[in-house]
Amino acid sequence: AQVEHVVPMLSLEKLTPNRRDSKGVAVPMLEQLSQWVERRRKDLELAASAPLTLLVEPKIDGISVSVLYEAGKLRRAVTRGDGRRGDDITRQIKQSRAVPLELRGLSGKLEVRGELYWPRPAFDAYNAQLRAAGHETIANPRNGCAGMVKRKELQGLEDVGIQSFLYSVPWAEGVKLPGTQSQLLAWLAGLGAPVYMERIATAGSASEAIAACGGVGAQRVGLPFDTDGMVIKIDELKYYGILGATGHHPHWGIAYKFPPERKQTQVLGLELGVGKSGKITPVAVLSPVFVAGTTVSRASLHNFVEVARKDIRIGDSVIVEKAGDIIPQIVDVVHDQRPADAQPIERPTLCPACNSEVVVEEIFVHCPNPACPAQRRERMVHFAGRRQMAID
């Protein structure tokens, strides 16, 4: 069932490491945040000397949830959905015990928002069970968590290990709330809510906030949950209603995205993949390297125009990262380490699977043969997959 949120669950505006201005010049994240803070000061009509405390919290990479408590008891849990309406997952949440069924000493009504997540150890253990049973494993904890909290079969959800961090209260009736976000987190923890307090920090300026973000970013690989950044919020809750929101994001907070981890490795060879539609994709075979939690030995080169633009050659030393911390990609070539015998990557003229003459359409190369064995195999694999027919 779909439920309409009393207060919309909006996305956050983002600070990004690759932002450029209208002239194509890179804008450092500190400058982006400084500009944001100045806009908020102007909105609040604060003097330059007036303090504006910021709170920096880890941004857990999970599934946003809104939980309603009445007289301390959990009554309803809803996903973010499109921000205006979400899916009712009350039964799944109660079965999984991902959030407390009761908050201590609470009267009135209280909506608490937070993030559902699948801790890495529990996720890895579940994938190990799937692998041992010969089943397809789950790509990452975030996707797995989304699937778990929406599944109709409740049995066993309590053993999966889905957990939560709760961090905000958009509205309350008959409940006196603290005056700042930092006090609110401590208050929620006192009620028995799961709150992540270890790496939060207060900051009096944009530079202090950026420094706090960088400190957590350097430690995030060892955390038991995935985090793709930090959230920087104005600490004084009384300002939230004054600042308001756009149709997309509130003005009281902004997200800091961690730069992706990058590692150097070598291109050992090239494979040509033929997809179900016949598109031929170049794939770099890499010397295995550990990046963002997994060993990477292959990276899609997307298309041959991109290969030429980056001038990637077999034998090159390259810099790899995971786009969105998931998909391996080559972001740069270390040209001053190029060996003399590095081989250019040429666009194929024949399909590697059926030897049909390829067709070039804009930046893509296609095999036009619908009977191509590679295409037929990929169509069958796609048809049998979990998101289509889910054939064991």
> Residues with catalytic annotation?
59
Q: How far apart are CA 33 and CA 244, in angstroms?
A: 18
Q: What is the CA radius of gyration of the chain?
A: 25
Q: How far is CA 366 from the centre of its chain?
A: 32
The phi and psi torsions of 127 (rounded to 5 degrees) equal: -65, -35
- CB burial class (10 A; 0-12, 13-18, 19+) of residue 128? exposed
Q: How far apart are CA 327 and CA 143, in angstroms?
A: 14
Spatial contact of 26 and 20, defined as CB atoms under 8 Å apart: yes
Tell me the residue type at 289: V
Q: What token pair was written down for 20?
A: 């450029």
**Which residues, 6 or more positions from 23, have their beta carbon under 8 angstroms from its beta carbon?**
none
Spatial contact of 285 and 267, defined as CB atoms under 8 Å apart: yes
In the chain, what is the straight-line distance between the N-terminal and C-terminal CA atoms, in Å? 29
Q: Describe the crossing of helices 141-148 and 120-132 by its angle, rounded to 10 degrees.
A: 80
For residue 125, the tally of other CB atoms under 10 A from its CB is 12
Nearest one of 209, 198, 217 to 233, comparing CA atoms? 209
Q: What token pair was written down for 65?
A: 């949830």
Q: How far apart are CA 202 and CA 54, in angstroms?
A: 6
Q: Where are the alpha helices (DSSP H) in 45-140?
A: 90-96, 120-132
Map tokens 């944009």 to a residue: 206
What is each CA distance from 57 to 85, 203, 311, in whole angstroms? 26, 11, 40
Which helix (H) or strand (E) element contains residue 373?
Answer: helix 373-384
The phi and psi torsions of 215 (rounded to 5 degrees) equal: -65, -40
